[in-house]
Protein backbone atom coordinates (compact mmCIF):
# COMPACT_ATOMS: atom_id res chain seq x y z
CA UNK A 1 0.00 0.00 0.00
CA UNK A 2 1.81 3.10 -1.18
CA UNK A 3 -0.74 5.39 0.39
CA UNK A 4 1.53 8.37 0.95
CA UNK A 5 -0.91 11.23 1.13
CA UNK A 6 -0.43 13.75 -1.62
CA UNK A 7 1.07 17.03 -0.53
CA UNK A 8 -1.43 19.87 -0.21
CA UNK A 9 -0.93 23.57 -0.33
CA UNK A 10 -0.80 23.61 3.46
CA UNK A 11 2.16 21.24 3.49
CA UNK A 12 4.01 23.48 1.11
CA UNK A 13 3.24 26.54 3.18
CA UNK A 14 4.39 24.88 6.39
CA UNK A 15 7.62 23.56 4.92
CA UNK A 16 8.41 26.92 3.33
CA UNK A 17 7.57 28.84 6.48
CA UNK A 18 4.98 31.04 4.77
CA UNK A 19 1.22 31.25 4.67
CA UNK A 20 -1.07 29.33 2.37
CA UNK A 21 -2.00 32.61 0.80
CA UNK A 22 1.54 33.28 -0.24
CA UNK A 23 1.96 29.90 -1.82
CA UNK A 24 -1.22 30.44 -3.76
CA UNK A 25 0.02 33.77 -5.03
CA UNK A 26 3.42 32.51 -5.95
CA UNK A 27 1.75 29.96 -8.14
CA UNK A 28 -0.84 32.21 -9.69
CA UNK A 29 1.28 35.33 -9.91
CA UNK A 30 -1.78 37.35 -9.03
CA UNK A 31 0.04 39.54 -6.57
CA UNK A 32 3.65 40.50 -5.99
CA UNK A 33 5.79 38.25 -3.82
CA UNK A 34 9.36 38.98 -2.80
CA UNK A 35 11.87 37.17 -4.91
CA UNK A 36 13.29 35.48 -1.90
CA UNK A 37 10.14 33.85 -0.64
CA UNK A 38 9.05 33.12 -4.17
CA UNK A 39 12.23 31.14 -4.73
CA UNK A 40 11.84 29.26 -1.49
CA UNK A 41 8.23 28.38 -2.20
CA UNK A 42 9.02 27.17 -5.67
CA UNK A 43 11.77 24.99 -4.33
CA UNK A 44 9.48 23.37 -1.81
CA UNK A 45 6.85 22.88 -4.52
CA UNK A 46 9.47 20.93 -6.42
CA UNK A 47 10.58 18.91 -3.43
CA UNK A 48 7.07 17.88 -2.50
CA UNK A 49 5.98 17.47 -6.11
CA UNK A 50 3.03 19.62 -5.26
CA UNK A 51 0.27 20.10 -7.81
CA UNK A 52 -2.95 21.90 -6.94
CA UNK A 53 -6.04 19.75 -6.84
CA UNK A 54 -8.13 20.46 -9.90
CA UNK A 55 -11.41 19.72 -8.13
CA UNK A 56 -10.74 22.14 -5.34
CA UNK A 57 -9.54 24.74 -7.74
CA UNK A 58 -12.54 24.19 -9.96
CA UNK A 59 -14.85 24.56 -7.01
CA UNK A 60 -13.38 27.95 -6.25
CA UNK A 61 -12.78 29.32 -9.72
CA UNK A 62 -15.48 27.76 -11.84
CA UNK A 63 -12.90 26.75 -14.40
CA UNK A 64 -11.43 23.39 -15.18
CA UNK A 65 -8.63 23.74 -17.72
CA UNK A 66 -10.57 21.44 -19.98
CA UNK A 67 -11.92 21.79 -23.47
CA UNK A 68 -14.52 19.59 -25.11
CA UNK A 69 -14.80 18.56 -28.71
CA UNK A 70 -18.39 17.70 -29.53
CA UNK A 71 -18.83 15.71 -32.71
CA UNK A 72 -21.55 13.72 -34.36
CA UNK A 73 -19.43 10.65 -35.01
CA UNK A 74 -15.98 9.99 -33.56
CA UNK A 75 -15.56 7.41 -36.21
CA UNK A 76 -15.40 9.97 -38.99
CA UNK A 77 -11.65 10.32 -39.50
CA UNK A 78 -11.91 14.08 -39.79
CA UNK A 79 -12.58 14.48 -36.09
CA UNK A 80 -9.69 12.53 -34.62
CA UNK A 81 -7.49 14.60 -36.86
CA UNK A 82 -9.03 17.75 -35.41
CA UNK A 83 -8.63 16.34 -31.95
CA UNK A 84 -4.95 15.85 -32.64
CA UNK A 85 -4.75 19.53 -33.58
CA UNK A 86 -6.45 20.54 -30.36
CA UNK A 87 -4.01 18.42 -28.41
CA UNK A 88 -1.06 19.97 -30.20
CA UNK A 89 -1.95 23.32 -28.73
CA UNK A 90 -3.85 22.54 -25.56
CA UNK A 91 -1.97 19.61 -24.08
CA UNK A 92 1.23 21.62 -23.49
CA UNK A 93 -0.84 24.20 -21.62
CA UNK A 94 -2.10 21.54 -19.25
CA UNK A 95 -5.59 21.39 -20.67
CA UNK A 96 -7.57 18.20 -20.79
CA UNK A 97 -9.39 17.37 -24.01
CA UNK A 98 -12.66 15.50 -23.86
CA UNK A 99 -14.23 14.10 -26.95
CA UNK A 100 -17.92 13.77 -26.89
CA UNK A 101 -19.76 11.96 -29.61
CA UNK A 102 -23.42 12.77 -29.89
CA UNK A 103 -26.09 11.24 -32.05
CA UNK A 104 -27.49 13.82 -34.42
CA UNK A 105 -30.56 14.80 -32.46
CA UNK A 106 -30.85 17.82 -30.30
CA UNK A 107 -31.86 16.16 -27.02
CA UNK A 108 -28.67 14.16 -26.98
CA UNK A 109 -26.76 17.31 -27.63
CA UNK A 110 -28.63 19.08 -24.85
CA UNK A 111 -27.70 16.36 -22.42
CA UNK A 112 -24.09 16.26 -23.48
CA UNK A 113 -23.69 20.01 -23.18
CA UNK A 114 -25.30 19.99 -19.75
CA UNK A 115 -22.78 17.44 -18.61
CA UNK A 116 -19.86 19.31 -20.05
CA UNK A 117 -20.93 22.68 -18.76
CA UNK A 118 -21.63 21.24 -15.31
CA UNK A 119 -18.04 20.18 -15.36
CA UNK A 120 -17.12 23.75 -16.15
CA UNK A 121 -15.30 23.11 -19.39
CA UNK A 122 -13.56 26.30 -20.43
CA UNK A 123 -14.30 25.87 -24.08
CA UNK A 124 -16.38 23.87 -26.50
CA UNK A 125 -15.54 23.11 -30.10
CA UNK A 126 -18.89 22.32 -31.62
CA UNK A 127 -18.79 20.15 -34.71
CA UNK A 128 -22.32 18.84 -34.47
CA UNK A 129 -24.35 19.60 -37.55
CA UNK A 130 -27.69 19.77 -35.79
CA UNK A 131 -26.70 22.35 -33.23
CA UNK A 132 -29.28 25.09 -32.72
CA UNK A 133 -29.06 28.60 -31.40
CA UNK A 134 -30.17 27.43 -27.99
CA UNK A 135 -27.12 25.19 -27.84
CA UNK A 136 -24.80 28.03 -28.72
CA UNK A 137 -26.50 30.14 -26.10
CA UNK A 138 -26.21 27.45 -23.46
CA UNK A 139 -22.47 27.35 -23.97
CA UNK A 140 -21.77 31.06 -23.98
CA UNK A 141 -24.21 31.70 -21.14
CA UNK A 142 -22.29 29.22 -19.05
CA UNK A 143 -19.21 31.33 -19.63
CA UNK A 144 -17.44 28.84 -21.86
CA UNK A 145 -15.76 29.84 -25.10
CA UNK A 146 -17.42 28.53 -28.22
CA UNK A 147 -15.91 27.71 -31.58
CA UNK A 148 -18.06 26.37 -34.38
CA UNK A 149 -17.14 24.72 -37.64
CA UNK A 150 -20.01 26.04 -39.69
CA UNK A 151 -22.97 28.38 -39.71
CA UNK A 152 -23.43 32.11 -39.64
CA UNK A 153 -21.11 34.36 -37.73
CA UNK A 154 -22.83 35.99 -34.77
CA UNK A 155 -21.09 38.05 -32.10
CA UNK A 156 -23.07 36.28 -29.40
CA UNK A 157 -22.05 32.83 -30.49
CA UNK A 158 -18.32 32.59 -30.59
CA UNK A 159 -15.88 32.14 -33.40
CA UNK A 160 -15.99 30.05 -36.54
CA UNK A 161 -13.19 28.08 -38.13
CA UNK A 162 -13.56 26.34 -41.44
CA UNK A 163 -11.72 25.32 -44.56
CA UNK A 164 -11.99 26.98 -47.93
CA UNK A 165 -13.94 24.41 -49.95
CA UNK A 166 -14.37 26.69 -52.90
CA UNK A 167 -10.72 27.60 -53.09
CA UNK A 168 -9.65 23.99 -52.68
CA UNK A 169 -11.84 22.81 -55.51
CA UNK A 170 -10.68 25.68 -57.68
CA UNK A 171 -7.10 24.55 -57.09
CA UNK A 172 -7.94 21.02 -58.16
CA UNK A 173 -9.65 22.18 -61.34
CA UNK A 174 -6.85 24.59 -62.12
CA UNK A 175 -4.36 21.77 -61.73
CA UNK A 176 -6.31 19.66 -64.21
CA UNK A 177 -6.52 22.59 -66.60
CA UNK A 178 -2.78 23.15 -66.34
CA UNK A 179 -2.27 19.52 -67.30
CA UNK A 180 -3.79 20.52 -70.61
CA UNK A 181 -7.34 19.27 -70.17
CA UNK A 182 -10.19 21.51 -71.26
CA UNK A 183 -13.29 19.35 -71.27
CA UNK A 184 -13.67 18.72 -67.56
CA UNK A 185 -16.62 16.88 -66.04
CA UNK A 186 -17.74 17.60 -62.50
CA UNK A 187 -19.30 14.79 -60.49
CA UNK A 188 -20.98 16.58 -57.63
CA UNK A 189 -22.59 15.20 -54.50
CA UNK A 190 -25.81 16.62 -53.17
CA UNK A 191 -25.87 20.24 -54.42
CA UNK A 192 -28.16 21.27 -51.59
CA UNK A 193 -25.47 20.77 -48.98
CA UNK A 194 -22.85 23.33 -48.11
CA UNK A 195 -19.96 21.26 -49.51
CA UNK A 196 -21.91 20.56 -52.68
CA UNK A 197 -22.59 24.21 -53.23
CA UNK A 198 -19.17 25.52 -52.33
CA UNK A 199 -17.23 22.95 -54.31
CA UNK A 200 -19.32 23.48 -57.40
CA UNK A 201 -18.62 27.18 -57.02
CA UNK A 202 -14.92 26.40 -56.97
CA UNK A 203 -15.24 24.43 -60.18
CA UNK A 204 -17.00 27.29 -61.91
CA UNK A 205 -14.57 29.86 -60.62
CA UNK A 206 -11.51 27.97 -61.83
CA UNK A 207 -12.99 27.57 -65.31
CA UNK A 208 -13.86 31.23 -65.48
CA UNK A 209 -10.45 32.34 -64.26
CA UNK A 210 -8.87 30.12 -66.88
CA UNK A 211 -11.11 31.43 -69.62
CA UNK A 212 -12.87 28.15 -70.24
CA UNK A 213 -16.57 28.44 -70.74
CA UNK A 214 -18.91 26.68 -68.35
CA UNK A 215 -20.85 23.81 -69.91
CA UNK A 216 -23.84 22.74 -67.88
CA UNK A 217 -23.96 19.31 -69.47
CA UNK A 218 -20.61 18.48 -67.92
CA UNK A 219 -22.00 18.69 -64.38
CA UNK A 220 -23.90 15.85 -62.73
CA UNK A 221 -25.10 15.45 -59.15
CA UNK A 222 -25.85 12.51 -56.90
CA UNK A 223 -25.10 11.29 -53.41
CA UNK A 224 -21.64 11.67 -51.89
CA UNK A 225 -21.00 7.92 -52.28
CA UNK A 226 -19.08 5.41 -54.33
CA UNK A 227 -22.27 4.39 -56.09
CA UNK A 228 -23.00 8.02 -56.85
CA UNK A 229 -19.56 8.26 -58.40
CA UNK A 230 -20.04 5.20 -60.57
CA UNK A 231 -23.30 6.49 -61.93
CA UNK A 232 -22.18 10.07 -62.43
CA UNK A 233 -18.96 9.07 -64.13
CA UNK A 234 -20.72 6.71 -66.50
CA UNK A 235 -23.13 9.45 -67.48
CA UNK A 236 -20.29 11.83 -68.27
CA UNK A 237 -18.10 9.27 -70.00
CA UNK A 238 -20.99 8.42 -72.31
CA UNK A 239 -20.95 11.96 -73.66
CA UNK A 240 -19.56 12.62 -77.11
CA UNK A 241 -16.91 13.83 -76.99
CA UNK A 242 -16.15 12.34 -73.58
CA UNK A 243 -14.55 14.55 -70.95
CA UNK A 244 -10.79 14.39 -70.53
CA UNK A 245 -11.02 14.66 -66.78
CA UNK A 246 -13.50 13.91 -63.99
CA UNK A 247 -13.33 16.24 -61.04
CA UNK A 248 -15.23 14.70 -58.13
CA UNK A 249 -16.79 16.45 -55.16
CA UNK A 250 -15.32 13.97 -52.69
CA UNK A 251 -13.05 10.97 -52.52
CA UNK A 252 -15.84 8.41 -52.30
CA UNK A 253 -17.29 9.70 -55.53
CA UNK A 254 -13.81 9.55 -57.05
CA UNK A 255 -13.48 5.90 -56.03
CA UNK A 256 -16.69 5.23 -57.91
CA UNK A 257 -15.43 7.21 -60.88
CA UNK A 258 -12.31 5.09 -60.93
CA UNK A 259 -14.53 2.00 -61.00
CA UNK A 260 -16.52 3.38 -63.91
CA UNK A 261 -13.44 4.31 -65.91
CA UNK A 262 -12.08 0.81 -65.40
CA UNK A 263 -15.39 -0.76 -66.41
CA UNK A 264 -15.18 1.06 -69.71
CA UNK A 265 -11.70 -0.31 -70.33
CA UNK A 266 -10.14 3.13 -70.06
CA UNK A 267 -7.01 3.99 -68.12
CA UNK A 268 -6.34 6.63 -65.48
CA UNK A 269 -4.74 9.08 -65.99
CA UNK A 270 -3.87 8.31 -69.62
CA UNK A 271 -7.40 8.37 -71.01
CA UNK A 272 -9.07 10.37 -68.30
CA UNK A 273 -7.78 12.17 -65.22
CA UNK A 274 -9.67 11.85 -61.90
CA UNK A 275 -9.53 13.99 -58.76
CA UNK A 276 -11.17 13.68 -55.37
CA UNK A 277 -11.70 15.85 -52.33
CA UNK A 278 -11.03 15.23 -48.63
CA UNK A 279 -7.92 13.08 -48.81
CA UNK A 280 -9.30 10.15 -46.87
CA UNK A 281 -6.86 7.44 -45.87
CA UNK A 282 -7.88 5.32 -48.84
CA UNK A 283 -6.94 8.02 -51.34
CA UNK A 284 -3.25 7.17 -51.27
CA UNK A 285 -3.94 3.43 -51.30
CA UNK A 286 -5.95 3.29 -54.48
CA UNK A 287 -4.43 2.50 -57.82
CA UNK A 288 -3.59 4.84 -59.09
CA UNK A 289 -3.15 6.89 -55.91
CA UNK A 290 -5.70 9.65 -56.05
CA UNK A 291 -4.95 13.31 -56.61
CA UNK A 292 -7.19 15.07 -54.14
CA UNK A 293 -7.65 18.08 -51.89
CA UNK A 294 -6.56 17.70 -48.33
CA UNK A 295 -8.87 19.06 -45.70
CA UNK A 296 -6.58 20.66 -43.10
CA UNK A 297 -8.38 19.02 -40.19
CA UNK A 298 -5.43 19.15 -37.85
CA UNK A 299 -4.75 22.77 -38.61
CA UNK A 300 -8.42 23.50 -38.01
CA UNK A 301 -8.07 21.86 -34.63
CA UNK A 302 -5.04 23.94 -33.81
CA UNK A 303 -6.80 27.11 -34.84
CA UNK A 304 -9.82 26.30 -32.72
CA UNK A 305 -7.54 25.74 -29.77
CA UNK A 306 -5.77 29.04 -30.26
CA UNK A 307 -9.02 30.96 -30.50
CA UNK A 308 -10.22 29.38 -27.28
CA UNK A 309 -7.01 30.23 -25.49
CA UNK A 310 -7.24 33.81 -26.69
CA UNK A 311 -10.77 34.19 -25.43
CA UNK A 312 -9.80 32.63 -22.16
CA UNK A 313 -7.11 35.18 -21.53
CA UNK A 314 -8.76 38.22 -23.07
CA UNK A 315 -12.18 37.74 -21.57
CA UNK A 316 -15.42 37.52 -23.54
CA UNK A 317 -15.48 41.16 -24.55
CA UNK A 318 -14.40 40.82 -28.16
CA UNK A 319 -16.52 40.25 -31.24
CA UNK A 320 -16.74 37.06 -33.23
CA UNK A 321 -14.08 36.05 -35.69
CA UNK A 322 -14.19 33.75 -38.68
CA UNK A 323 -11.03 32.00 -39.78
CA UNK A 324 -10.97 30.35 -43.18
CA UNK A 325 -8.07 27.97 -43.74
CA UNK A 326 -6.77 27.07 -47.17
CA UNK A 327 -7.29 23.56 -48.45
CA UNK A 328 -4.23 21.93 -49.92
CA UNK A 329 -4.06 20.12 -53.23
CA UNK A 330 -2.25 16.78 -53.06
CA UNK A 331 -1.05 15.72 -56.47
CA UNK A 332 -0.70 11.95 -56.81
CA UNK A 333 -0.94 9.75 -59.85
CA UNK A 334 -4.54 9.95 -61.00
CA UNK A 335 -3.88 13.14 -62.95
Partner DNA sequence: CTGTTAGCGCGTTCAA
Partner DNA sequence: TTGAACGCGCTAACAG
| Shortest CB 49 distance to DNA, Å | 12
Applying CB under 7 A, does 313 fall inside the site for DNA? no
Closer of 56 and 239 to a second copy (Cβ): 56
- To the nearest whole angstrom, how small is the minimum distance from the Cβ of residue 263 to a second copy? 10
Q: Can the peptide bond before residue 286 be classed as cis, meaning omega within 30 degrees of 0?
A: no
Contact partner at residue 9 from a second copy, DNA, none, CB < 5 to 8 Å by partner kind: DNA
Strands 66-71, 123-126: pairing kind: parallel
**Contacts to DNA from residues 46-65, by CB under 7 A:** 50-53, 56-57, 59-61
Site for DNA in 55-114 (CB under 7 A): 56-57, 59-61
Nearest approach, Cβ of residue 292 and a second copy (Å): 13
Q: Is 14 in the site for DNA (CB under 7 A)?
A: no
Cβ-based nearer residue to a second copy, 115 or 182:
115
Q: How far apart are CA 36 and CA 14, in angstroms?
A: 16
One residue of 17, 94, 143, 316 binding DNA per CB under 7 A: 17
In angstroms, the Cα distances linking 50 to 17, 53, 94, 197 are 16, 9, 15, 55
State how far the alpha carbon of 41 is from the alpha carbons of 55, 94, 277, in Å.
Answer: 22, 21, 55
Residue 212 DSSP one-character state: P
CB of 24 to DNA, least distance (A): 4
List, in sequence order, every beta strand (DSSP E) within 176-218: 184-187
Residue 84 beta carbon to a second copy: minimum distance, rounded to whole angstroms: 5
34 binds, among DNA, a second copy, none (CB under 5 to 8 A by kind): DNA
Q: Do 151 and 184 contact (CB within 8 A), yes or no?
A: no
Q: Which of 3, 29, 34, 240 binds DNA (CB under 7 A)?
A: 34
Identity of the residue, 131 or 286, whose beta carbon is nearer to a second copy in the bound complex: 286
CA of 162: how far to CAs of 57, 125, 156, 295, 323, in Å?
A: 34, 12, 18, 10, 6
* SS3 of residue 72 by DSSP: coil
* CB count in 10 Å sphere of residue 201: 15
**Contacts with DNA, residue ranges (CB under 7 A):** 5-6, 8-10, 17-22, 24-25, 27-28, 30-34, 36-38, 50-53, 56-57, 59-61
Amino acid sequence: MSKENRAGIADVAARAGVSITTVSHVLSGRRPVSDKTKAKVLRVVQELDYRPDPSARGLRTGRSEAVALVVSDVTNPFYPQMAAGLQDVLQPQGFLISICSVRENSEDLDAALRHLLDRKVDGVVLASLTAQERHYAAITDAGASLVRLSGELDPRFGDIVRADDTGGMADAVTHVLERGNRRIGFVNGDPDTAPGRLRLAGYERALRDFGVEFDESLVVSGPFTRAGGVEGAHALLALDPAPEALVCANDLIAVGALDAVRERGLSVPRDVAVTGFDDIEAASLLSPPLTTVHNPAREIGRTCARLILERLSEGPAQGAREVVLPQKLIVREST
